[in-house]
Structures are given as structure tokens and as C-alpha cells.
Amino acid sequence: MEPKNLSNSEKNHTSSETAKTLLALRGIPGSGKSSLAKSISFTNGAPIYSIDSYFEDEAGEYHFDYQKNHLAYKDCEAKTKQALELGVPFVIVDNTFTLDWELEPYISLAKEFGYRLFVVTVENRHGGKNTHQIPEDQIEKMKGKYKLVL
């Protein structure tokens, strides 16, 4: 079978423009988003940005403050934007992304800076527990808000 004729842009999958990737990992607390992000980052050195990191101190202890949650969203978005501005080839964002509005800034950033955006929903099929002491009733509410775009 003859290969079909491809344009130069279709042939050159290694160019820096097509290789730039923004990976958004989404899922409920305890689903394994952070573990997956760390595994991927370990293999390719990609930076990981998350809302959770805003609430971690230098020792890695997590201290959530709901009143500062809006600051955490802005911090994560700003750090991601900075990485994309610098042309970092692979960037990971690890957040719950329960609601569409939480993902919208990253969709816009990917378009603005010429990144392919992949949104991966991480399922809790391994029985993981959330490490941030989020009550089960709150997690159930989060599950109810999830929308998948297939």
C-alpha cells in the first residue's frame, strides 16, 4: 500500500511548534492525578503546576485555606502561562478541573501560545485516598459536577 502524500506540516511532527504540549490532568481528590503527573514528569522533566502546591509549605505540608483558594487558582494559571511564554515543550497542570470554567484559562493559554492541549481524566480505579482530608460528602458533590467532553 502506498503512503498518502502529506504536506510538510503533516510530515514534520518533530518541529518545536507541533511538539509543544500542555497536559491537564483532572480527577477527584485521591484519583491519582499528582502521582501520574510526577511519573510523567520523571520521564520527561516537565514542570507540574497545581492549585495544591500553593497550599504546601517548604516541608511539603499541606495547609488549605478556603479564603485563599482564588489566589491558588491565579497562581497556578500565572505559573503555567510563564512556562508557556518561555516555550517549555511539555507542561503539566494537575487540578480537579471539576467545572468547565476551571479549565477555560488553560484552553485559552494553549491557543495563545500554540500548544496542543490534552485533557486527561484520571479515574480512581486503584482505591486511592485523598491526602487533603476532603470529606467524602464533598467528593460526592464534586463527582456530581463532572462533565466529560468526548
Look at residue 112 in the predicted model and tell me its pLDDT. Answer: 97
pLDDT digits (tens, 9 = 90+) for 26-68: 998 888 999 999 999 999 999 999 998 998 888 888 888 889 9
- Alpha-carbon distance of 37 to 85, in angstroms, equals 21
Looking only at the bridges linking them, the beta strands covering 21-26 and 90-94 are parallel
Helix (H, G, I), strand (E, B), or coil: what is residue 28?
coil
CA distance 89 to 23: 11
Mean pLDDT of 110-122: 96
Q: How far apart are CA 147 and CA 134, in angstroms?
A: 21
- pLDDT > 80? residue 102: yes
The answer to whether residue 76 scores a pLDDT higher than 90 is yes
Return the pLDDT at 132. Answer: 66
The residue with greater pLDDT, 1 or 132, is 132
What does pTM read for this prediction? 0.81
pLDDT of residue 137: 81
What pLDDT band is residue 4 in, cutting at 50, 70 and 90?
A: very low
CA distance 39 to 23: 13
Q: How far apart are CA 89 and CA 82, in angstroms?
A: 12
**Chain mean pLDDT for the chain:** 85
pLDDT digits (tens, 9 = 90+) for 119-138: 999 987 777 777 666 777 88
* Residue 149: per-residue pLDDT: 80
